[in-house]
Amino acid sequence: MRRLLLIATGATTALILSSTTLAAPYHDRTLKSLELKRAEPYSRARATLARKGWTPFRTKQDHGTAGDVLGAGWREVFFCSGTGRAFCTFIWKRGARCALITTAGEYYPEDGAPKVWDAEVDTCPSILKRA
């Protein structure tokens, strides 16, 4: 019984790693196209996006546990989770395209910012459906 559980766990882990590995090149290209780097502070990413002509996009919804982020003036926050890696999503707009930036880590004024985790660019309706 224990052996089957270990094998099943191993297979599940392998599947998770495989899907992550397959998705990584797409997201790496997206980060590169936005001139962002994984694990860079979001405060730096914000400056880069603004310099490249992206504007913060504010939605009218519940933003989860984004109180500290909203307090920092980051009005483009879409949602923040209250558990785990403290993921937050931010939306930026340029023309008919939107960029969904995902960060990990909590906001602390002395640290400056959570870190860039991932990014997607698509039409704004598509991004808003996925966000």
Give the pLDDT confidence of 62-76 residue by residue, as tens digits: 677 777 788 788 889
Residue-by-residue pLDDT tens, the chain, 131 positions = 333 333 333 433 333 333 344 445 556 789 999 999 999 999 899 999 999 999 999 887 767 777 778 878 888 998 888 777 889 999 999 999 999 999 998 877 666 578 999 999 999 999 988 76
Q: How far apart are CA 55 and CA 49, in angstroms?
A: 8
Exposure class string for 58-97: b at 16+ Cβ within 10 A, else e: eeeeebbebebbeebebebbbbbeeeeeebbbbbbbeeee
Task: Write the CA distances from 85 to 50, 53, 61, 73, 103, integer angstroms.
Answer: 26, 29, 22, 21, 9
Which candidate, 46, 63, 59, places its Cα nearest to that of 113? Answer: 46
pLDDT at 110: 64
Is 35 in contact with 105 (CB distance < 8 Å)?
A: no
Give the pLDDT confidence of 6-16 residue by residue, as tens digits: 333 343 333 33
